[in-house]
């Protein structure tokens, strides 16, 4: 499945494959590249999380059994950082009680030994269902603001501005619902899922910090709008207006 880039050219979906079997990594990466995907690889969860610090893929394929960090733990860690779709490669089947755990964090799973055409079909199905939520390339919000969420940065008046992981998670949730209101509770869950006693002030402070970074006039926002008593809305300049 391809998406249009800034020049109307097809953009290859980016896939991160995580498996401790080096032979499987090479074979699967070659198969995916031959089908037009852009592929990066990691040999364990620690390496995979390091890669997410620099760029977000469109989808992850994660092996269930790995040293240092198993696939289930990695999937939860990934979901804490961004709502990225995940397919798990696993030896369990639907009758295993672990299958219920996978459903918490993965969009789908494929049993090992995997059949590549089946895996490819499931990847395409997940990307088709979820891939249009957030642009894979640049999200142009106005003449002076472009979000590069996969690189965790904003281009403000032509200058790159780095975003923290938390800021990126909140913007990702807002971009996935562009033009629509996202509740403060949802943003709190996305940004601080593992934090005990997190309260709405965390969201308020982060949104204020984001406005300082990306809005021409932080006190009169045109892109990151407050919907009083409900949450926030991300809009393009054409659709925006202060609230």
CATH code: domain of residue 98: 3.40.50.2300
- Whether the pTM exceeds 0.75: the reply is no
DSSP for 57-99? -SEEEEESS-SSS-HHHHHHHHHHH----EEEEES--TTSTHH
What values do phi and psi take at 56, rounded to 5? -100, 130
> What are 146's two structure tokens?
């472009």
Q: What is the DSSP letter of 131?
A: T
Domain count within the chain = 2
One domain, residues 124 and 18? yes
One domain, residues 121 and 165? no
Helix (H, G, I), strand (E, B) or coil at 98: helix
One domain, residues 45 and 104? yes
pLDDT at 240: 42
One domain, residues 110 and 19? yes
Q: Which tens digits make up the pLDDT trace of 152-205?
A: 789 999 999 988 878 888 898 898 888 999 999 989 887 776 567 778 999 999
Helix (H, G, I), strand (E, B) or coil at 118: helix
Q: Which tens digits make up the pLDDT trace of 64-83?
A: 888 888 888 898 888 877 76
Residue that has been written with the tokens 């949730």 in this structure: 173
Q: What is the DSSP letter of 160?
A: E
Cβ pair 177, 231 in contact under 8 A? no
- 7, pLDDT greater than 50: no
> What are 14's two structure tokens?
């980016």
- d(Cα 24, Cα 120) in Å, to the nearest integer? 15
Q: Which tens digits make up the pLDDT trace of 84-143?
A: 889 999 876 655 555 666 666 787 888 888 899 999 999 988 887 654 455 556 789 999
**Domain encompassing residue 56:** 3-130
One domain, residues 14 and 122? yes
| Domain final position from 103, 130, 157 | 130
Sheet architecture: strand order including 231-234: 181-183, 231-234, 224-227
Strands (E) in the chain, as ranges, are 3-4, 10-11, 14-18, 38-42, 59-63, 86-90, 108-111, 139-142, 145-148, 153-156, 159-162, 181-183, 224-227, 231-234
Beta bridge partners of 59: 15
pLDDT at 29: 96
| Higher per-residue pLDDT: 10 or 217 | 217
pLDDT at 100: 63
Is residue 240 one of the residues assigned to a domain?
no
Measured N-to-C along each axis, helices 184-191 and 201-214 cross at an angle, to the nearest 10 degrees, of: 90
């Amino acid at each position: 499945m391809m998406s249009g880039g800034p020049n109307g050219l097809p953009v290859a979906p980016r896939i991160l494959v995580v498996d401790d079997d080096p032979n499987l990594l090479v074979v699967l990466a070659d198969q995916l590249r031959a089908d037009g995907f852009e592929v990066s690889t990691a040999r364990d969860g620690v390496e995979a999380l390091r890669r997410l610090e620099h760029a977000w893929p469109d989808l992850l394929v994660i092996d269930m059994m790995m040293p240092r960090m198993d696939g289930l733990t990695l999937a939860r860690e990934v979901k804490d950082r961004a709502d990225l779709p995940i397919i798990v490669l696993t030896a369990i089947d639907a009758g295993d009680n672990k299958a219920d755990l996978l459903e918490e964090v993965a969009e789908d799973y494929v049993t090992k030994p995997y059949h590549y055409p089946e895996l490819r079909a499931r990847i395409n199905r997940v990307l088709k269902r979820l891939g249009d939520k957030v642009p894979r390339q640049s999200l142009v919000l106005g003449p002076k603001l472009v979000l590069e969420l996969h690189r965790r940065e904003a281009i403000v008046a032509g200058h790159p501005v780095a975003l923290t992981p938390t800021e990126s998670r909140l913007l990702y949730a807002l971009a996935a619902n562009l033009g629509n209101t996202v509740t403060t509770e949802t943003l709190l869950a996305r940004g601080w899922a593992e934090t005990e006693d997190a309260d709405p002030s965390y969201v308020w402070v982060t949104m204020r910090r984001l406005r300082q970074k990306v809005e021409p006039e932080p006190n009169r926002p045109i892109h990151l709008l407050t919907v009083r008593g409900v949450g926030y809305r991300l809009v393009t300049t054409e659709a925006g207006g202060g609230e």
